[in-house]
Amino acid sequence: MLLLSPCAGLCAQEKPRLPGGDDVRCPKEVPVDPRRRSPTVPILRWEPFPCDPSRLPLTDAGNSGTTTGLPDRWRLASMLGYPENLLDPYNGNNWLKGDRPAWGEDWFVNLIVVSDSVIEQRSLPTPVAGAVAGGPGSLDTLGNGEQLGLVHNLVVEGVIYKGDTVFKPPDYEFRFTPVFNINHASVQERGVLKARAIAPLSRTEGVIGIQALFIDKHLRNVSSRYDFDSLRVGIQPFTADFRGFLFQDSAPGIRLFGTRANNRYQYNLAWFRRLEKDTNSGLNNLVELGGDAFRDDDVFAANAYMQDFPVAGFTSQATLVYNRNREGGETRYDDNGFIQRPASIGQERGRDYDVVYLGLNGDGHVGRWNLTAAAYAALGSSTHGVFVDTEQEIRAAFVAAEVSRDYNWIRARASLAYASPDRDPFDDVASGFDAIFENPLFAGADTSFWVRQAVPLIGGGRVALSGRNGLLNSLRPGKEFGQSNFENPGLVLFGLGADLDLTPTLRLSVNLNQLMFADTAVLEVARNQAGIGRDIGQDLSVAATWRPLATQNIVVRLSAAALIPGGGYRRLFGGAVPYSVLGNIVLSY
């Protein structure tokens, strides 16, 4: 390996030698032979070019031949001729991207700007608004379900951190992430966008959400390999497991975390207090609500990770999460005028509850097989049930697994999920599994119709079967506002899918999920309707993702999904096929 001389760029016409008698070796550009098929760029060939040692900045005052090291690697990049380029994150010396210190010796800045635009056309089961139905012949239980949504989020994330972060975590980190949102929706039925019967059929609104605002203090290093303990305080993102099955949110809290044994073991100890969300964007609504933005809903989490266990390439995780909710006496309406707490189902009474989640999770590969698995038990108590006025014991379970394998440019996968149901809504045990704040990357994620869309339970209360960006049939008004509900029909999912990398920049993903209720007793009580079958239907989706630069700076996605109704779905909503078509453009700096 040939090392660049410290006098590169200082070559002179004189012919003195460096102390020790060696000629300085400097780069010389040689044109490419036009007959060759290689790219027309210069080749660097190393030639012995002399250099004046008196002009070397790296020798000591006496020019004794003893050279000193560069003060830091960032000034070396400048000496090698890398120009400053603030607009291009990949080419040039960009202090806005942490390529060199912004000030001092080791204070860095990292600026991230993301533009995320979505247009979505969809058709959902939609109730009519009583005597103010939108058109002739629509005065019925179900109306016109056609809806159009436009959403734009501008994310600006600023990070200031101190320390040499090549091998060790920063000494301090300050992060601030505001999100500027504007959203538009248009529907065909009144009573969908706003509770007021005379409200228009379209809506355009905006909000500023604060998704991160924290300070991170590096407490100490505990080994020569920079295993560490750190403390983070403020609004911060946190995911309780690998795929977001239980709790994935940005909430204010305190988190102690670190690593051991050369990063093989990792741990988190955290407390979070949940925030109210903006109704239409789902962002943290701090700007408008101020002090009223904090919910009486606390999440205490502890988890530990172990890499290469039980086999090399697989990471196992144990999780303990305690959810304390004291919102039973509250009444909360969202910005559109719909009641969120208590949920408009059953007795329509709020509840206080304490739930402990015990979980085992894993992610990685076993040989050539990729595997993600999760298992949770939910244990606790509630002051009363949704349908009964007596105290209930909570005992519920959830399991999920996804296995995949790569065949050249194709990744084939299979998915399985089961959430236990409540088989008797009138006893003193609530056994329907519900999460705290789910956002699952599973079985097609938001490409799937059932995961992305909130399908309302029409005629049984103003709640949804599955929440938006949710997997579970939890019968909540919405995961952003509603309390967890452990009296629900549960879920059974079997899925097949594949990712096809057609080119290095174009991926095609297809998914087919068979969806079922685990038990329909709760639905039959809520709807006062017997004979509801378990079969929800087949969820089919396809998505094309294009990255024209082969990076994440420009991502274009087009997806379509439809639900082929099964017997249970048709009993609830009829035989119309709900669908969604989505276009998404993400631009990142």
- Per-residue pLDDT reduced to its tens digit, 288-344: 776 789 999 999 999 999 999 999 999 999 999 999 999 999 999 999 999 999 999
CB atoms closer than 10 angstroms to residue 46:
12
42 pLDDT higher than 50: no
Phi, psi values for residue 181, rounded to 5°: -120, 140
Q: What is the pLDDT of residues 370-413, one digit of tens each?
A: 999 999 999 999 999 999 999 999 999 999 999 999 999 999 99
Band of the pLDDT at 68, cuts 50, 70, 90?
A: low
In Å, how far are 210, 267, 370 from 311, measured between CA atoms? 40, 20, 12
CA 291 to chain CA mean position, Å: 26
Residue 171 reports pLDDT greater than 60: yes
Distance CA 540, CA 558 (A): 14
Distance separating alpha carbons of residues 341 and 242, to the nearest angstrom? 30
* pLDDT attached to residue 24: 38
Give the tens place of pLDDT for each residue, 43-55. Answer: 333 334 344 444 4
Res 87: pLDDT: 81
Closest CA to 246 of 425, 484, 491: 484
Q: Which two tokens stand for residue 502?
A: 């057609």
Q: Which of 10-19, 377-386, 419-428, 565-574 has the lowest mean pLDDT?
A: 10-19
Q: Which pLDDT belongs to residue 60?
A: 43
Answer whether 462's CB lies under 8 Å from 338's CB. Answer: yes
- Is there a contact between 96 and 86 (Cβ–Cβ < 8 Å)? yes
Closest CA to 207 of 282, 260, 273, 269: 282
Pairing of strands 146-162, 579-588: unpaired
Report the relative pairing of strands 464-466 and 429-430 from DSSP bridges: unpaired
pLDDT grade for 93, boundaries at 50, 70 and 90: confident
Cα separation, 51 vs 23, whole angstroms: 8
Which tops the pLDDT comparison, 500 or 68? 500
**pLDDT of res. 105:** 84
Strand partners, 362: 316, 373
In contact, 402 and 369? CB cutoff 8 Å: no
Q: Looking at residue 167, what is its pLDDT?
A: 77
- What pTM, to 2 d.p., does this model score? 0.85
DSSP state of 93: B
Q: What is the pLDDT of residues 195-241, one digit of tens each?
A: 888 889 999 999 999 999 999 999 999 999 999 999 999 999 999 99
For residue 81, what pLDDT band results from cuts at 50, 70 and 90?
confident
Burial class for 319, CB neighbours closer than 10 Å (0-12, 13-18, 19+): buried
Average pLDDT, the chain: 86
Q: For residue 458, give the 3-state DSSP assignment.
A: coil
- Asked if residue 487 lies in contact with residue 476, where contact means CB atoms within 8 angstroms, the answer is no
What's the average model confidence in pLDDT over 7-12?
Answer: 38
**Nearest of 98, 193, 113, 97 to residue 147 by alpha carbon:** 193
> Is the pLDDT confidence value at 249 over 50?
yes
DSSP string spanning 417-434?
EEE---S-TTSSEE----
Domains of the chain: 1-69 (no CATH), 107-346+356-588 (2.40.160.100)
Q: 277 pLDDT exceeds 70?
A: yes
Residues 111-135 have a mean pLDDT of 82
Structure-derived torsion over alpha carbons of residues 79, 85, 91, 95, reported in degrees to the nearest 10: 70
